[in-house]
Amino acid sequence: MKKLLDIAARVSDQAEVFSIRKDSSSLDMRNGKPCDMSASIQSGYALRILKDGRIGTAYTKNLLSRDELVKNALDSLKGRVEASFSFPGPSEIPESWLPDESISRMGFHDLHSRSGKVLDYLNRKVEGQINVNSARGIQDMAIMNTNGLNFSRKSAFMYIFASLLFPNTETAVRKFYQSRQAGDFPEKELDVLMDLYASGLPEASIPTGSMKVVFTPDTMFTLLWRLSAAASGKSFYDRVSPLQNRREEKVFSDKFTLYGDPADPLEVDQHFFDDEGILAKKHTIFEKGVFKNLVLNLDYAAKLKEEPTGTGYRGGMWGGETVSLPPMPQLSCSRIAPGNVSFEDMIKGIDRGVIVFGVLGAHSGNILNGDFSVGLNPGFYVENGEIKGRVRDGMVSGNVYDVLNNIESVENRLHDSTTGGMYPSILLDDVSVAAK
């Protein structure tokens, strides 16, 4: 990296080198039998140069020719993409924890063994198809620039994802466990999964109309996707955000607080700087319903004449090669602050409503405007505080700026989400529900 940076420094005003290496393995078991095994190593280098107020970029998976990579970055300056920011200098960060060696030692045998424990436990108590997906991964990331910044971090994770499929369907209830050290799926969480499965075995008909709706942690991205787009510095710079000119204004119920906290000791991907070398710390977007802060990277912070917020990250929900993607404003390690009601009491308080455990079509609707219309996959119908069964072919729809003003209660604990982040379940009132 240092040699590449030195070459780039000779032909530019400023330069930055970003490198990443990911080593991962996964095992999928369908109905108790292994159906897919994969292992991958992804690595690469990304170069950004600033020259005469413009930015040039290039990347490679294999650093075979540093001169050619620098030439590609210089050639990209012809695109005349303006850059009014500078790369950051060095700063003090807390000492990062080192990846647990138990993750690095895990192989397919370990994944199979831990998945098998989940299968054995569930098979003793449930009749039906059980799918278990497991994986482990290790990541090394480093960033260096000509202003003296030189950061690196290592991370490791493992997860197990258990699914109980309803008879003759691909619809399932699921539970997710992840850790930064090798561990087994907590049995008490598997007990919760089995109880949910039993509740959803009967099929229930639901009326069409407005009613109470619970969004569970794995479906929270349906709402947060809309809010992330609106709070992004890009949307503010383009002047298309519904939150434009609403800073410090109460936008949602005071029961709603959204923030990111990469430095949280409980975070599996705990880290102290973003993919541009800016310190990453707790960053609040909405506090008790009040819109507080934008999500900014270096580029949009400079364009909006604000300070960067340590939320410039490469990658996104659609995947892709990390080094090929530019750092964009993205909230990392997101959280919704918990409330004071247990999930069980939340359900008991519903006179008529739906629990959303999975969604189809979260990408539909005007995302920036906050609109959503999603299929239930699955959804459970609740009447007089009791789950009556699983809903077939149901939908919920609305606008986040309406439904998040009608929060009845927020669960008192956080859960890891399969889509990233840690969230409670949220009970919303007066949401549109439709059934076929």
User: What percent of the chain has a predicted confidence (pLDDT) above 90?
Assistant: 81
Residues of the chain with pLDDT under 50: none
165 contacts 55 by C-beta, under 8 angstroms:
no
Which pLDDT score, from 0 to 100, does residue 186 have? 95
Structure tokens at 182: 């090798």
State how far the alpha carbon of 26 is from the alpha carbons of 37, 99, 419, in Å.
6, 18, 17
Provide the greatest CA pair distance for the chain: 72
Does residue 298 contact residue 85 with C-beta atoms inside 8 Å?
Answer: yes
Nearest CA among 35, 42, 100, 47 for reference residue 76: 47
> What is residue 98's predicted lDDT score, i.e. its pLDDT?
66
Pairing of strands 129-145, 14-30: antiparallel
Cα–Cα distances in angstroms (integers) from residue 259 to residues 219, 295, 330, 331, in the given order: 17, 10, 12, 8
pLDDT the model gives residue 420: 85
- Confidence (pLDDT) at 266: 83
Tell me which residue of 431, 355, 424 sits closest to 386, measured CA to CA: 355
Helix (H) or strand (E) holding 116: helix 108-123
For 25-54, the DSSP string reads EEEEEETTEEEEEEEEEEEEEEEEEEETTE
pLDDT the model gives residue 268: 87
Contact 414, 422 (CB under 8 A): yes
Nearest to 24 by CA among 194, 217, 157, 181: 157
CA distances from 236 to 233, 286, 300, 400 (A): 5, 16, 9, 18
pLDDT at 422: 94
Whole-number Cα distances in Å, 118 to 31, 66, 115, 164: 12, 48, 5, 11
β-pair partners for 293 = none
For the 2-197 domain, the top CATH level (class) is alpha beta
Cβ density class 216-243: b for 16+ within 10 Å, e for less? bbbbbbbbbbbbbbbbbbbbbbeeebbb
The string of pLDDT tens digits covering residues 239-249 is 999 999 999 99
pLDDT score recorded for residue 414: 95
Domain limits of the chain?
Answer: 2-197, 202-436
